[in-house]
Amino acid sequence: MARFGRVATAMVTPFDADGELDVDAAVALAKFLVTEGNEGLVVVGTTGESATLSIEEKLTLFETISAAVTVPVVGGTTGSNTRQDMGLTAEASKLGLAGILAVGPYYNRPSQTGFELHFRAIASATDLPVMLYDIPKRTGRKVSSGTLVRLANEVDNIVALKDAAGDPSETAKVIAESPDDFEVYSGDSPMNLPLLAVGAVGLVGVCTHWAAPDHVQMLNAWAAGDIAATQRHNRRLLESYVFEGNDDAPNPVQPKVMMQTLGHEVGACRLPMGPAPEGTADAARAVYDRLVASRG
């Protein structure tokens, strides 16, 4: 069983009409996601608009979501300021989280030595298990396989990787050279099946906001060794993978519209993400209706 759940959602952060944090809506959404089959939640990640949240808002979300659900909740506590990130990680570790999500520092594009020292510093600030997050498309630089392997082998509480680097062959190398209990989770929906094939234990998704049951079916089929069924479920999900975001409406713009379309009051994204393009709600409804129809 995956430490943080085979199917986990990187949860959007609900805001009210004035753009303020809506804690009640966040709790309601977290509970809904669990009832839909999510075995874990990640809060204050990229999809949760972490870069636009204050430290106080982040701590509030960590505490309230952890208390509201019984599944593991992983909190995103890092950005591009190691000293500040260590302080937030230490504070967050007191609030009921099951783990810490530590993304590769963005914008300042550190060297591999900088990455390694940053992650070691974050891990030293908490007794909780740490999930590294490699997403070079957003951070501007990949964490190398060598760096990941050293951290997995040498830092006791670095126990997992959320992989959104898009290179299954390198992921396979990391898995092969890391301890047996080091877990890799797909962090990029189109890579879910390829990463399962090289040893990932689960996924941290975005379209799992509306398609968690389908992901659970896919993971169950995979665990049962039914490759044909796994492929069939993955094909049904392809349109949802695409809907997660594009250049005109990056994640989480479209996921928030999808959830609003399904009756969840999550509000719009804070700037600088910008508003949803015209027609996004209609597209969301069509994607969801086709997914439900495909369930048979």
User: Mind spelling out the 3-state secondary structure of the chain?
Assistant: CCCCCCEEEECCCCECCCCCECHHHHHHHHHHHHHCCCCEEEECCCCCCHHHCCHHHHHHHHHHHHHHCCCCEEEECCCCCHHHHHHHHHHHCCCCCCEEEEECCCCCCCCHHHHHHHHHHHHHCCCCCEEEEECHHHHCCCCCHHHHHHHHHHCCCEEEEEECCCCHHHHHHHHHHCCCCCEEEECCHHHHHHHHHHCCCEEEECCHHHHHHHHHHHHHHHHCCCHHHHHHHHHHHHHHHHHCCCCCCCCCHHHHHHHHHCCCCCCCCCCCCCCCCCCHHHHHHHHHHHHHHHCC
pLDDT tens string 240-288: 999 999 999 999 999 999 999 999 999 999 999 989 999 999 999 999 9
pLDDT at 296: 75
pLDDT in tens, 89-144: 999 999 999 999 999 999 999 999 999 999 999 999 999 999 999 999 999 999 99
pLDDT score of 214 more than 80: yes
- What are 155-174's pLDDT values in tens digits? 999 999 999 999 999 999 99
- 180-213 pLDDT, tens digit per residue, is 999 999 999 999 999 999 999 999 999 999 999 9
- Model confidence band, residue 1 (pLDDT cutoffs 50, 70, 90): confident
User: What's the pLDDT score for residue 265?
Assistant: 95
99 to each of 58, 72, 75, 94, 126, how far by Cα in Å? 14, 8, 6, 11, 9
Whole-number pLDDT of residue 202: 98
- Encode 57-92: b = buried (16+ Cβ within 10 Å), e = exposed: bbbbbbbbbbebbebbbbbbbbbbebeebbebbebb
Q: Which positions are catalytic?
A: 133, 162
